Amino acid sequence: MPFEVFRRHQRKMLAMLAILAMFSFVLADSLPRLFGTNYAGPDVEVAKLFGKTVRRSDLNEMARQRNRANLFMAALNPYSRDGFFGGLKERDLIDALILEKEADRLGMPADPITGREWLKARTGGRLNREMFEMLYSRFSSEISQEDLLADLANQVRIAKVRSLLGRAPITPFDVYQAYRGQNERVADKIVEIPVENFAGQVGEPSAAEVQALYDKFKDVLPDPASPDPGFKVPRQVQVEFVSIDGGSKARSLRDSLADAELRSFYENHKAEFKVPSELPDDLFADAADLTPAVIQPFDEVRDLLASRLADEKAQEAINDVFNRIRDEELIPFADKYLTMLDDQAASPAAKVQAPEPVDLKALAEKDGLTYEITPLLARDKAARYGLISNAQVGTTRLSGGRRFVDEFFDPKVGLYEPVELTDILGTRYLARKVKDEAPRTPTLDEVKPEVVRAWKLEKARPLAEKAAQELAARIKSEKQGKIEEDQIEGYNVLAVPPITRMQVGGLGAGPFDYVPQAETPIPEIEYAGDSFRDAYFGVKAGETAVAADEPKAHYYVIALDRREPVAFTQLYAPNGEEMRFNMLAGDEASIRQDEVWMNRLRRQAGLAADWTPPDEAARDDDSRS
């Protein structure tokens, strides 16, 4: 138990918490800004609750209170989940205000005594005054002990109001459906009918129709998953970069390594090549020499040594080149560029001299590097642009840094700031953003071909759907719902291998943590919406189904190839997974119930059903721009 561990190591933990207290003291001036008005921009209206306007500043106290309560619980039990009482986003805080109002209506107390009693119950009576004061010390400059206990009591009652309905009931059939979703496999044959094929049959739009369609969607950003057009030009960036294939460089160096060099490397890294032993290294206390480690011979690890040493040398060489270009050329230019912007802002009417540009292509040719400059890229295209799209910020493979698209579409990353990235193959990149164009509304003349095409596609969809329905009827009647050909009437046939409708969404922190299921992607159908997925997994032998993808760019005739069913008895067999799917079905039912309950409380508070908090709206605009 955490409290028993605490008692055994009380002195050490007191010292550690003293250090944490000093750390908190250092941050004392900056923490208030985290939830201050200026932190997230202007004090905008966030929502209207119970007939009153709620501004961002109104959320500050709830944010500070929840943050203190979360930090206290994290200090009380380092193994507890992050954000014990919930998140600090605007949506989380608005829900907290609504739940707080409901707790007031129900007469649930939020006083220090309630907080103290909850802590006693939570810790089984093990939390004494000395321990509490030690944990409180990190907050002593902000609030009193009584206020901290009241904070905890308020967050506890908010959590209790949210969970008032308890765990949602489920039936054995619910459990079976969850089991079936992850285990029953379906393989279908799909005839793909592009809507584009029928665009030539709908004629040409009039000038008035073109103008009307342009006016309707000129300020809408394009969404590849939507059937509606978007003519607004999205945010676009242009990036130039140099690159070195680190893996190739290491392989070329590996063949030139001298034997003496490898032996020297081996001597300096012997400890890393110990032969695993069943005996502990410290079998004899204070006499390590009595159990000397057995080291793998040089000849056995020579290939590994060569690979490691070659890679180290390759990375050193790349670092030398990149550091010189970055420190001597790119950073000085970026500093001059920022100074120019500051001078322009200070004197808008004055003519400010732009700094002499750095020719990165010439530098690349001088050092034998690969050079490339991208065209202007919207976010979706940047996410698929060449090998660099898979690179992460950092100088090592799989560094965990941000992906290329996330880095260069971050508005905080300015023009000409050098960034180093590495892809999974070991290629190193030194890149900088050279253009960042904001979204804009184009003129009709700029996008007229796109407007005409969107009009034609809209008119062609009923024709494509009709053709799909007629073909589906013929396949059902003439072929008994079976598709054997690679093409039918000039349309391609896609053969999808057996797949499950759902799959495990990832790994939880613990063996019993809830992890949401994820929909299994359907190969070659990039935007398979709910209607398509229902048709794909629901089609029966001898039958056919017709469905479109989400953007309605294609209609599909779907026929069952084979189904690998699961039986009810498999789930409840002695070696079945009834417990896991019982938990999964229960968790998902509880989440649905919780959302229904929260939606009811939100409606009572007067919150609009389509309400989006400002922080999410800004993030969505940037992600689509």
User: How large is the average pLDDT for residues 405-422?
Assistant: 94
Q: How many C-beta atoms lie closer than 10 Å to residue 135's C-beta?
A: 19
Supply the pLDDT for residue 458. Answer: 97
Residue 399: both structure tokens together: 């560094």
Percent of the chain with pLDDT over 70: 86
DSSP 385: S
User: How large is the average pLDDT for residues 467-479?
Assistant: 97
Whether the pLDDT of residue 320 is over 50: the answer is yes
Alpha carbon 170 to its chain centroid, in Å, reads 31
Question: Which band of pLDDT confidence, cut at 50, 70 and 90, is reported for residue 614?
Answer: confident
Q: Residues 69, 71, 77, CA angle at the centre, nearest 5°?
A: 105
Closest Cα to residue 89, out of 553, 624, 622, 618? 618
Q: What is 220-265 written as a DSSP string?
A: S---TT-SS---SBPPEEEEEEEEEEHHHHHHHHHTT--HHHHHHH
Q: In the chain, how long is the greatest CA-to-CA distance?
A: 94
DSSP 296: P
Supply the pLDDT for residue 591. Answer: 92
Residue 578: both structure tokens together: 């009834």
In angstroms, the CA 500 to CA 181 distance is 6
The angle, 0 to 180 degrees and rounded to 10, between the axes of the packed helices 145-162 and 112-122 is: 70
Could you tell me which residue, 617 or 228, shows the higher pLDDT? 228
User: How large is the average pLDDT for residues 303-313?
Assistant: 83
Whether the pLDDT of residue 556 is over 80: the answer is yes
Residue partners of 566: CB distance under 8 A and separation at least 6: 179, 180, 183, 184
In angstroms, the CA 405 to CA 29 distance is 34
The DSSP H or E segment spanning 534 is: helix 530-538
Question: Which band of pLDDT confidence, cut at 50, 70 and 90, is reported for residue 268?
Answer: confident
User: How large is the average pLDDT for residues 107-136?
Assistant: 92
Residue 5: both structure tokens together: 């561990």
In angstroms, the CA 148 to CA 132 distance is 11
Whether the pLDDT of residue 611 is over 70: the answer is yes
Supply the pLDDT for residue 294. Answer: 67
3-state secondary structure of 275: coil
- Tokens 């919207």 map to which residue? 378
Could you tell me which residue, 33 or 329, shows the higher pLDDT? 329
Q: What is 78-98 written as a DSSP string?
A: TTSPSSTT---SHHHHHHHHH
CA trace torsion 487, 492, 497, 503 (10° rounding) = -160
The DSSP H or E segment spanning 360 is: helix 360-367
Three-state secondary structure string covering 187-202: EEEEEEEEHHHHHHHC
Strand positions, DSSP E, 83-221: 185-194
Q: Which of 24-33, 200-209, 533-542 is the least confident region? A: 24-33
Q: 561, 188 in Cβ contact below 8 A?
A: yes
End-to-end CA distance of the chain: 50
Give the best-scoring range by mean pLDDT among 91-95, 288-292, 347-351.
91-95
Whether the pLDDT of residue 12 is over 60: the answer is no
Distances (CA, A) of 411 to 339, 405, 623: 18, 12, 11
The DSSP H or E segment spanning 322 is: helix 298-325
* pLDDT averaged over every residue in the chain: 87
The DSSP H or E segment spanning 500 is: strand 499-500
What pLDDT digit, counting tens, does each position of 354-391 carry?
899 999 999 999 999 999 999 999 999 999 999 999 99
Residue partners of 129: CB distance under 8 A and separation at least 6: none
What pLDDT digit, counting tens, does each position of 137-191 carry?
888 888 999 999 999 999 999 999 999 999 999 999 999 999 999 999 999 999 9
3-state secondary structure of 577: coil
Could you tell me which residue, 272 or 316, shows the higher pLDDT? 316
Buried b (16+ CB within 10 A) or exposed e, 511-539: eeeeeebeebebeebebbeeebbebbbeb
Percent of the chain with pLDDT over 90: 65
To the question of pTM greater than 0.85 for the whole model, the response is no
Whether the pLDDT of residue 327 is over 80: the answer is yes
What pLDDT digit, counting tens, does each position of 33-59 carry?
344 433 445 788 999 999 999 998 889
Report the relative pairing of strands 487-488 and 370-373 from DSSP bridges. Answer: unpaired
Residue partners of 573: CB distance under 8 A and separation at least 6: none
